[in-house]
Amino acid sequence: MSNAPIRPSDGELAILRVLWNRGPSTVRDVLTELSKDRDMGYTTVMKLMQIMVVKGLVVRDESARTHIYQAAQEEERTQSFLLKELMDKAFDGSAASLVMRAISSTKADERELAEIQAFLKRLRKERS
């Protein structure tokens, strides 16, 4: 696993989401999951996953006839990297601006707002 995060494309991110949710999977497993939301062919998914191996986004176990793929980085690490990149590019590095835009741009229900408040309370407690 590389130290520097790698920015996945949208297609690669969709594959990574499948691998994070399912765990180690074959190309067919990934295709089955992706096909629920979009029309993709087996060879397209296989080629993308082969490119992802070269880029270091996934690792491939070739010990069996059917190769098994798994994400090379944890979901949280990739999300943090992408979020920081967005925050730096679109919000001039301001976490407050990003969070306020995210909350105001969606219809956060009372449960979500309560979760956010509880998170902020925990954060304040940890930092004091």
Q: Which structural domain range is residue 116 located in? A: 94-128
pLDDT tens for 7-31 read: 999 999 999 999 999 999 999 999 9
Cβ 69 vs Cβ 25: under 8 Å: yes
100 shares its domain with 123: yes
Q: How many helices (H) and strands (E) does the chain have?
A: 6, 2
User: CA end-to-end span of the chain, whole Å?
Assistant: 35
79 shares its domain with 100: no
Confidence (pTM): 0.82
Q: Tell me what the mean pLDDT of segment 113-128 comes to.
A: 93
- Give the CATH number, domain containing residue 56: 1.10.10.10
**Dihedral pair phi/psi, residue 71, rounded to 5°:** -65, 140
pLDDT tens for 68-116 read: 999 999 999 999 999 999 999 999 999 999 998 988 888 888 999 999 9
42 shares its domain with 105: no
38 shares its domain with 4: yes
69 shares its domain with 114: no
Whole-number Cα distances in Å, 128 to 84, 114, 116, 123, 125: 24, 21, 18, 9, 5
103 shares its domain with 85: no
- Here the tokens at position 89 are 């590019």
